[in-house]
Structure 1
Amino acid sequence: MGIISWIFVGAISGFVAGKLMNGRGSGFIKNVIIGIIGAFIGGAVMNFFGNVGVTGFNLRSLVVSVLGSVILIAIINGFGKNN
């Protein structure tokens, strides 16, 4: 995937994950960063369970990226709260 695709998928998956986890989006740059890192995390998790990862600009890659972004936001929220 090209850099434009990474930015586009990252923005979408970061926004969707933010809506799922927090009920709101974060901002374009933060959504892109969360989405791109989430794509790496989601790809690693899916490769652990089988050979299903981020392969290009398609629905499966978007779902994997959203899954990884949700995991990333959950980790960030877990470290951010004082228990």
Structure 2
Amino acid sequence: MGITSILVLIIVGAIAGWLAGLIVKGFGFGLLGNIVVGIVGAFIATLILPRIGLVIGGGLIGNIINATIGAVILLFIIRLVRKGT
């Protein structure tokens, strides 16, 4: 993985985490937290979305959309766990 790939991963993660934080009200993790949420969200989306037949497409915008969907799923799971405790 080259430096360009790492930078794109961080940028996509930051944008996706920020968008997911806007969609799921009450979640703000700061810049580093948003990057982590976005990257984990991208991983979740990579696992879940193709299995349910949802393919967004490629490119930077497609990656941001996929990562945002995964990050929203992650934030909903976090919200459910927090309510349970």
Q: Structure 1 length as normaliser, TM-score? A: 0.84
Distance verdict in 2 for CA 1:82–1:14, change over 3 Å? same
The CA deviation string for residues 29-67 of structure 1, in whole angstroms up to 9 with x for no partner, is: 000000000000011112213483785x52111111000
* In structure 2, C-alpha distance between the alignment counterparts of 1:17 and 1:63, rounded to whole Å: 10
Contact 1:42/1:53 (8 A) holds in 2: no
Q: CA RMSD, aligned part only? A: 2.2
> Percent identity, aligned pairs only?
34
Determine if contact 2:41/2:74 at 8 Å carries over to the other structure.
Answer: yes
Distance (Å, rounded) in 2 between the aligned partners of 1:76 and 1:67: 14
Relative to total residues, which structure has the larger helix share, 1 or 2?
A: 2
Q: Write out the 4+ residue segments of structure 1 that deviate beyond 2 Å after TM superposition.
A: 23-26, 49-55
User: What's the counterpart of residue 27 of structure 1?
Assistant: 30
1:1-83 maps to which residues of 2 (within 5 A)?
2-22=5-25, 25-50=28-53, 52=55, 57-82=59-84
TM-score, length-normalised on structure 2? 0.82
Supply the distance in 1 between the matched residues of 2:57 and 2:80 (Cα, whole angstroms). 26
Q: Number of matched residues? A: 82
